[in-house]
A and B are shown apart, each in its own frame.
Chain A
């Protein structure tokens, strides 16, 4: 927790906030941080006239200060049934990541919004360190659902609801048969700073199966009959590598930060070291 408190969320873009926050804004305003001078025009607040400069130059200049703003930080957790796999489950790890990042945001006074695909139209929006318990309570209440809502629909609902710009962290395994591309495109269109944490379980990365099996998809009940063999496993690895590579290149092309993660990796390690190296926190 102490480590998290020292961290802050980093946005590569500077967004306009609604309330005074702890971040410098592009907008000029009232703060102690000097930004520039400009000529006085009638109607300006006389308090910001730099009298020292007037004495030297005999002309009125107005001091402009940088406005400090808050940051909009959104976390979206994939709550499809596929996230319920792994030991610990991917969903649990995703919630840990979301909690860690949200806590960092709360400590810095950012506007933190946490939601899952299911609750994307009605996210919990909190601010301030004192809301930590509310954050955790909300995360606790989230669970994997078997709804038919696709990723694209959820993101669409999210975009409609949240008009503000900010940082979006999407934690998902991208195991969506209808594709993840359209969902990410929508977020990109909102000009948000997007981080995609691609969370995969060891069972997906290196499956340890034997014999003749009937694989049942836990989401749509799709069945695949396979006879495990070294060749098949080798081809699976190739497919997996291609899948990851495809997601990575898609993200890179659209300035989405792609962060691959394993569910058997501790969440604090992920946040403290991995996300720091990726530039999401510092």
Chain B
């Protein structure tokens, strides 16, 4: 039993004055109601027994007075805040780290795990004394400091209440790092030990309220933090979750799509389920399946004559976590890359563009260099209907508004290496004089175009060195210098190959390199088409986990876009110079659609799905491991001060009621 004074000295003084005041009220004569009676004869005789003029005798057997004094005594006792096991209070700094990841939406405890965690934090907060400081951190796959250190309990309460539910994954390390950093503000970032400003780390207690759906914390150094892990949730909770859902085109049958889903069952029992697949809100197919305990099962749906639409897979199984029972996928229309090849004639290149793989993703238009003067080219170039223009041994007067590949020629804005230094501009391509022979020495493996190329056996008769424009990247280096480079031009990219495959001369066509007959050449062409043409259009839209950013490739044709979230929220996007735009507002699972301004049909879509077997596993961790240490869960009970003042006040209230009854009914003197 320990006591905490809830009042200051002056307040105590005031409180202690009240009992004598009540007592004195009993000495004072009450203002009595006058009542005429036939005779006071009998009353006089009656009162003679009781009425003794002594003041103390008057107070004798006055139950009302005793009740009132007892009431006051109980009030004073409550103000002393008696409590149990007060020695368990640790430190004055408390950090409440609350898990609000997807698994905390589970309803195995009433109403949800997150609400239970909030309730427990509120209980912990109520048990703190007025001088304690607290901090509230919510975490999912990132930490969110809801409230910094404060003594204001109301702010802590509202910070706890304001923690939202998320559908994100779990990563506690960031939250713990934030707690450690905020708990030990004196931590110096310098190794210099003479830094006298470094304050001692202040011990703090971290109350980690989570279901433990995160891995080991590795060698996380908690410093002077004491971690109390309070596990939330039932240890044995059945759940079924979709961990993967994707749509693919059938390689053999072009008009057929296959939707795959992977279902996980982290529970201890075999589960049978029904899965229904909806296309644009209409039931398309349904399937039943079963998953053994701690196993995964696959589901396959075949879709015919479906070119685009929004797919929603729902598991009809009543479990504690609903968010992982739904998965979304959007089918993208089969989009073809359009390529314009301007060449005086290049069999090797044309053959490489005729391969089935390239044909599957691209349509190629071949024109002679005279086409460059054609107004149709100007229209096509400005309209950006063409995704990639390949200039073979020729060069336009003006760069088209699209990605380009120059083979054996130079962009019109390029300058020669012999140009005057004063004209040198870092934003233009520079070229050396043709020289040869050249041998490729190094290939940039980090770029998708050149990552699979094997150029060791390729011989080149003549090549010129290339110095790419600003922010450019050399992709191939030969013994004479860089011969292949890529550089951005606004939202577009230009790649320049410093040697031609064939060289048209007055005597006919001469071969400049044997690369055209090597196996690596079609690989190079395919990779170029795939990368510069806009990438492969997968039949299924990309999917990210809730809260994760997604890179959107926005069409160059439009400037303004808006993203419509599944909950109807819209976000305006303005395309800058970069063709990729990073979109971060992906909290709500579902299908997001990107609309261009003035276009009704979405130009792009992507999905946000939980797809986390760790979140779907609702088993509650008994302990969390931190390096070699292990923190045991304290379960639903928390080492905390058991306050009794509420009960005492309740008793006092009951006493007040009894006193009222006694006063009114005069049941007993």
Known interface pairs A224-B47, A236-B46. Does A215 touch B669 (Cβ–Cβ under 8 Å)?
no
- Per a CB cutoff under 8 Å, which of B36, B47, B667 touches A226? B47
Known interface pairs A212-B33, A214-B35, A232-B50. Does A224 touch B44 (Cβ–Cβ under 8 Å)?
yes
Q: CB distance A243 to B668 under 8 Å?
A: no
Binds B, one of A99-107, A154-162, A201-209: A201-209
Residues in B whose Cβ lies below 8 Å from that of A228: 666
Known interface pairs A228-B666, A230-B666, A231-B668. Does A240 touch B37 (Cβ–Cβ under 8 Å)?
no
- Per a CB cutoff under 8 Å, which of B32, B38, B49 touches A225? B32
Q: Does B30 interact with chain A (Cβ within 8 Å)?
A: yes
Shortest C-beta distance, A76 to chain B (Å), equals: 19
Known interface pairs A210-B666, A230-B666, A230-B668. Does A215 touch B46 (Cβ–Cβ under 8 Å)?
no
Cα A150 to Cα B49 in complex, Å, equals 27
Cα A88 to Cα B35 in complex, Å, equals 19
- Per a CB cutoff under 8 Å, which of A83, A201, A215, A230 touches B43? A215
Q: CB distance B669 to A218 under 8 Å?
A: no
Residues in A whose Cβ lies below 8 Å from that of B668: 229-231
Q: CB distance B42 to A239 under 8 Å?
A: yes
Known interface pairs A213-B33, A224-B44, A229-B669. Does A203 touch B50 (Cβ–Cβ under 8 Å)?
no
Known interface pairs A216-B34, A224-B44, A226-B47. Does A232 touch B669 (Cβ–Cβ under 8 Å)?
yes
Q: Does B397 interact with chain A (Cβ within 8 Å)?
A: no
Q: Does B21 interact with chain A (Cβ within 8 Å)?
A: no
Known interface pairs A212-B30, A214-B33, A228-B666. Does A82 touch B46 (Cβ–Cβ under 8 Å)?
no
Cα A90 to Cα B629 in complex, Å, equals 96
Q: CB distance A215 to B50 under 8 Å?
A: no
Residue in A212, A229, A238 with the greatest tally of chain B CB atoms within 10 Å = A229
Q: Does B376 interact with chain A (Cβ within 8 Å)?
A: no
- Residue count of chain A within 8 Å CB distance of chain B: 43
Known interface pairs A226-B43, A228-B666. Does A82 touch B38 (Cβ–Cβ under 8 Å)?
yes
Q: Does A222 interact with chain B (Cβ within 8 Å)?
A: yes
Q: Does B646 interact with chain A (Cβ within 8 Å)?
A: no
Q: CB distance B42 to A240 under 8 Å?
A: yes
Q: Does A173 interact with chain B (Cβ within 8 Å)?
A: yes
Contact bitstring A102-124, B, C-beta under 8 A = 1, else 0: 00000000000000000000000
Q: Does A27 interact with chain B (Cβ within 8 Å)?
A: no
- B28-63 interface (Cβ within 8 A of A): 29-30, 32-47, 49-50
Q: Does A175 interact with chain B (Cβ within 8 Å)?
A: yes
Shortest C-beta distance, A213 to chain B (Å), equals: 5
Q: CB distance B35 to A239 under 8 Å?
A: no
Chain B's closest residue to A215 (CB) is B37
Q: Does A85 interact with chain B (Cβ within 8 Å)?
A: yes
Shortest C-beta distance, B33 to chain A (Å), equals: 5
Known interface pairs A210-B666, A229-B666. Does A218 touch B36 (Cβ–Cβ under 8 Å)?
yes
Cα A224 to Cα B667 in complex, Å, equals 22
Q: CB distance B669 to A224 under 8 Å?
A: no
Q: CB distance A217 to B39 under 8 Å?
A: yes
- Per a CB cutoff under 8 Å, which of A218, A229, A238 touches B38? A218
Residues in B whose Cβ lies below 8 Å from that of A229: 666, 668-669
Shortest C-beta distance, B322 to chain A (Å), equals: 63
- Per a CB cutoff under 8 Å, which of A90, A215, A230 touches B35? A215
Residues in A whose Cβ lies below 8 Å from that of B50: 232, 235
Chain A's closest residue to B39 (CB) is A175
Cα A92 to Cα B397 in complex, Å, equals 135
Cα A177 to Cα B45 in complex, Å, equals 11
Shortest C-beta distance, B162 to chain A (Å), equals: 54
Cα A219 to Cα B668 in complex, Å, equals 32
Shortest C-beta distance, B425 to chain A (Å), equals: 106
10 closest A-B pairs (Cβ-Cβ)? A175-B39, A82-B38, A214-B32, A85-B38, A217-B40, A229-B669, A229-B666, A239-B46, A212-B32, A236-B46
What are 17 A-B residue pairs whose CB atoms fall within 8 Å in the complex?
A: A175-B38, A177-B41, A213-B34, A214-B33, A214-B34, A215-B35, A226-B43, A226-B47, A227-B30, A228-B666, A230-B669, A231-B668, A232-B50, A238-B46, A239-B46, A240-B42, A243-B41
A residues neighboring B (CB under 8 Å): 81-86, 90, 173, 175-177, 201, 203-204, 207, 209-219, 222-232, 235-236, 238-240, 243
